[in-house]
Amino acid sequence: MTDLARATSLLTIDVDAVVANWRRIATLIAPAEAAAVVKADCYGLGVVQIAPALFAAGCRSFFVANLDEGIQLRKIVPGGVIYVLSGPVGGGEQDFAAHGLIPVLNSLAQITGWSAFAKAGSAAPASAIHLDTGMTRLGLEEVEVERLAAKPDVLASVRPILAMSHLACADDDTAPKNNEQLATFRRLSSQLPAMPLSLSASGGIFLGRAFRFDMARPGAALYGLNPIPGRPNPMAQVVRLQGKILQVRDVDSPMTVGYGATHRVAQRGKIATVAVGYADGWLRSLSNRGHGVIGGFKVPLVGRVSMDLTTFDVADVPAPLVHPGALIDLISPELTVDEVASEAGTIGYEILTALGRRHHRRWLTGTREGKPA
C-alpha cells in the first residue's frame, strides 16, 4: 500500500508558485532587493524544499527567526546571506560566527555584546541593526539610536550592513501609522552611517515605492497569502489541503452531531466524517462555521472540530461524489487560506503555521513531485 493510499489527508505545496511569487515581487520592487522570509519552516510549508528553489531562482538574502533556524538554513543554502531576527540570545555570538550568520541586533545590550565579541579578535560576521519605529516590540528606540550614534567605534566594530524596521499596519493602506513609521524610519536611520535600508515585509511592498528602500522582506506573500486584504490577491496560490472521507451517515431530526451536541439535525440529510482535526491544524474555532468543497459544491462544517475528525453536511452533493475514500478540499483555489482564516476568526499566517505533521505532504516542482522529508 502506498503512502498516499493509506494517508488520511493530503497537503500539496506548489514550490513553483512560491518561486513565481518571489519573482513577481523582485520584478515589482527592482532595483531594490527581494529577500525571502523563511522562518518557521517557511511558514510550515517546508524550508528544505522551498529555500533551495528560491536560491536557484536568484534569491540571495534570507531571514529566519532564531539561531537554530539559521544553522539549519546554512546547510540548505550554503551560499545564502542569512539574517537571524532574534539576534544573539544568551551569549550565542560564537555560534553565529561559526555558521556565518548575520545577527539582527535588537538592543544596545546585543550591540555591546556583538561589539565586544568582534573586538576580541573573533571572525565576527557583519550585522544588521533593528530600529523600533512604532511596533514597540524589538529594536532601538530613538534615544538609544542617539546613544549608539555617539559611539562611532562601537558602530564600526559591529559592521552593520543593513538597518531595518517593521510596519505595524502594513495590511491597511489607510492607516496613518504607516506614514508615521516611514518618517520615523527615515529620521532614525539618518543618524547612522549610510547603509542599505529595509522597512517593508509583504504588505509594505504594496504601499508604494517610498516604503521599499533597498530591500524588502516578503514572507506571507511568497506562500500565497493576500498582502492587500480587501482587494484581489496578486499572489499565486501555493497550498491545497484535502481530507479523506471516512464515513457517510444518513441523519434526521432530532439527531445531533459531535461533541457537546452543538449541531442539531433539522431534517433528513447526510453527514460526512473527514479525517482532519485540530491536531492537523484544522482549528477548533472553525466549529459550526467553516466550509469544505467537494466537486465544486461548498459544504458547511457542522458540529465541533475534534482532535482527529471534522463533520460536514453533504446533503446537497451528488451521491457519487460522497463516499469513504473521497477527498474534500479544505484549502484550495476555491477556498483560500485567507478565506479559511476569516471563517476561523484568525489570519492566514496562523492557518499555515498550524498545519500538522500528520498530513501526507507532496511538493510540486515543474513536472516533478517532491517526496516527504
* Residue whose entry in the numeric block shows the C-alpha cell 556583538: 114
Q: Are 327 and 359 in contact (CB under 8 A)?
A: no
* Residue whose entry in the numeric block shows the C-alpha cell 550614534: 149
Cell matching residue 347: 489570519
Rg (C-alpha) for the chain, rounded Å, is 24
How many whole angstroms separate alpha carbon 370 and alpha carbon 362? 6
Q: What's the whole-model pTM score?
A: 0.94
Q: Rounded to whole angstroms, what are the CA distances from 227 to 69, 172, 230? A: 25, 10, 9
Q: Are 109 and 93 in contact (CB under 8 A)?
A: no
* Residue 270 annotated as catalytic: no
How many whole angstroms separate alpha carbon 200 and alpha carbon 215? 8
How many whole angstroms separate alpha carbon 360 and alpha carbon 86? 32
* Residue 259 annotated as catalytic: yes
How many whole angstroms separate alpha carbon 232 and alpha carbon 234? 6
Q: According to the model, what pLDDT value does residue 125 have?
A: 85
Q: Which helix (H) or strand (E) holds 313?
A: strand 310-313
Q: Which residues of the chain have pLDDT under 70?
A: 1-2, 367-373
How many whole angstroms separate alpha carbon 94 and alpha carbon 189? 28
**Nearest CA-CA partner of 34 in 236, 209, 218, 227:** 218
Q: Are 79 and 103 in contact (CB under 8 A)?
A: no
Q: Which residue in the list 39, 43, 83, 278 is annotated as catalytic?
A: 39
Q: Which are the contacts of 8, defined by CB distance < 8 A and separation ≥ 6? A: 243, 244, 246, 275, 276, 358
Q: Are 364 and 335 in contact (CB under 8 A)?
A: no
Q: What is the pLDDT of residues 124-171, one digit of tens each?
A: 789 999 999 999 999 999 999 999 999 999 999 999 999 999 999 999
* Residue whose entry in the numeric block shows the C-alpha cell 472521507: 245
Contacts 24+ apart (CB under 8 A), 109-116: 111/148, 111/154, 111/158, 112/154, 113/88, 114/87, 114/88, 114/157, 114/158, 115/154, 115/157, 115/158
Q: According to the model, what pLDDT value does residue 123 have?
A: 78
Q: According to the model, what pLDDT value does residue 6 have?
A: 87
Cell matching residue 354: 498550524
How many whole angstroms separate alpha carbon 133 and alpha carbon 130? 9
Q: According to the model, what pLDDT value does residue 2 have?
A: 64
Count other C-beta atoms under 10 Å from residue 362's C-beta: 19
CA 93 to chain centre: 27
